[in-house]
Amino acid sequence: MTPAHHLAARFGRALDSDPDTLRSCAQDFGHIVHGTPLGVLRPRSAAEIKDLLVFAGPRGIPVSVRGGGHSMYGQGQADGGIVLDLRAMKEAGPVTEDHVTVQAGASWRDVLAATLPYGRTPPVLTDYLGAGVGGVLSAGGLGGAGHRHGLVADQVLELEVVTGAGEHRVCSPDRDPELFHAVLAGLGQCAVIVAATLRVVPAPARIRRYCLHYADLTRYLADQRRLAEEQRFTYLEGQARPADGNGWQYMIEAVAPHDGPCPPDDDALLAGLAHDPVALETEDLLFGEFAHRVDTDEEVLRETGEWLHPHPWLNLLLPRDTAESVVRAVLDDPAFHDLRDTGLVLLYPLLSGRLRAPLFRRPSGQVLYLLALLRTAPPGSPETVAEMVAANRAAYELARSQGAVAYPVNALPMSDADWRDHYGSRWPAFADAKRRHDPHGVLARGHGLRF
């Protein structure tokens, strides 16, 4: 029998093979790569996930996991296989003073909805709260509190998973640590995350948001580094924005907690910085308002239809010593000129010592910068999209020659050699974990990793 017949015989009506469903799961937020699955399974328990993997593994049927569906380049697709749609598994709670357990299909909106009534929040949140918990933990997860607390994945205390071999396991830094560290920032290669127990901390009642403006990239990067190292703010990000002519200007976005009757000390927080004081912007917000700030942007993009356009995004982690030269070269490249009109450029610092997940690759040195080139292509223009993906490749090659690495959630084709270079000395251990936990190699083939 064919794989389709095997699956139909085993799972029957539980396997959704409606053409509309298959078309939906054949694409992702990137809208660039398309891979049509044989069917979609919507489990409500770890037992159902285990059942599928026990069946699919020996038959070589690819299995991918879909939560928010926000991959860029087919990473969450299963061409000719099965998509596990985890959105029914979205419970969050109970919440204690120091942790919360959430299912992998929950979004970060769901997590905050559970924790904020108790005055708690995960220490690090992604900017976009519509992303799924399992997907973010599989990638590592970056956010504005990363300079203080590391990755989103670094806040995980325990994981419940089903391995590619169909084993239902619970792991933590002290219980089965090898599996635990192979799953976090492991791109879904070894196991399906079922649930995660996350550390939580007190959430401030209010925050003060500062926007500091710079005309000079050198001063901007120096002040970002200083603020990251001195830990003045609880949240620290920033952007490059188009200036008059063909130039660029820069904006540091920083947040301080605002609890009680005494506001933050602006003079102390901004002392010694080289920003333009005349252009300083401040805003006081409830913490929940700030955390959900991107929701409005999503609503606008959905209304205009741009949410469904191709998104050839590229995320690079740059070492401090070469960050300025790489940023200048990429932003001056005519192939990225569209960033001036329809894109968003994030540029902010992280501290390597805070990024603890072993499989999360980062450049050498203590200070690094995320350069995120978030572009939107016009619909119905595959030639333009191909050119933008080619530009991503050229930028990646340039940055890699200067010691950078990719944050691997990109619209970027990666060869076997690229992946081995990316993981470096970690590659043999990662490959060994893949062989042991997914012996049939059916999980997460959309990333293009071949062990």
Would you say residue 178 has pLDDT above 90? yes
Predicted pLDDT at 75: 95
How far apart (Å, rounded) are the C-alpha atoms in residues 27 and 396? Answer: 24
Would you say residue 2 has pLDDT above 70? no
Q: How confident is the model at residue 1 (pLDDT cuts 50, 70, 90)?
A: low
Work out the average pLDDT over 288-317.
94
Predicted pLDDT at 68: 86
Would you say residue 10 has pLDDT above 90? no
Would you say residue 12 has pLDDT above 80? no
How far apart (Å, rounded) are the C-alpha atoms in residues 380 and 257? Answer: 45
Tens of pLDDT along 319-337?
999 999 999 999 999 999 9
Crossing angle (nearest 10°) for helices 217-230 and 320-332: 140
Tens of pLDDT along 234-255?
999 999 999 988 899 999 999 9
Predicted pLDDT at 11: 81
By CB atoms closer than 10 A (0-12, 13-18, 19+), residue 352 is: middle
Any idea what DSSP says for residue 343?
Answer: -
What are the residues whose beta carbons fall under 8 Å from the beta carbon of 345, sequence distance 6 or more? 239, 240, 241, 331, 339, 371, 372, 373, 374
Show the beta-strand stretches assigned E in 88-205: 92-95, 99-103, 120-121, 156-163, 168-171, 191-199, 201-202
How far apart (Å, rounded) are the C-alpha atoms in residues 68 and 306? Answer: 17
Would you say residue 33 has pLDDT above 70? yes
Work out the average pLDDT over 432-448.
96
Q: Among all chains, which residue has been given the structure tokens 């690079």?
A: 316
Lowest-confidence range among 102-106, 164-168, 257-261, 402-406? 257-261
Residue 340 identity (one-letter amino acid): R
What are the residues whose beta carbons fall under 8 Å from the beta carbon of 445, sequence distance 6 or more? 62, 64, 78, 79, 81
How far apart (Å, rounded) are the C-alpha atoms in residues 94 and 114? Answer: 8
Predicted pLDDT at 245: 84
Work out the average pLDDT over 196-215.
97
Predicted pLDDT at 4: 67
What are the residues whose beta carbons fall under 8 Å from the beta carbon of 122, sequence distance 6 or more? 100, 108, 111, 115, 152, 155, 198, 199, 200, 201
The pTM of this model reads 0.96
Would you say residue 83 has pLDDT above 90? yes
Would you say residue 118 has pLDDT above 70? yes
Transcribe 237-258 into DSSP letters.
EEEEEE-STT-EEEEEEEEEE-
The mean of the pLDDT values for the chain is 95
Any idea what DSSP says for residue 25?
Answer: H
Any idea what DSSP says for residue 377?
Answer: P
Q: How confident is the model at residue 262 (pLDDT cuts 50, 70, 90)?
A: confident
Would you say residue 3 has pLDDT above 80? no
Would you say residue 9 has pLDDT above 90? no
Predicted pLDDT at 279: 97
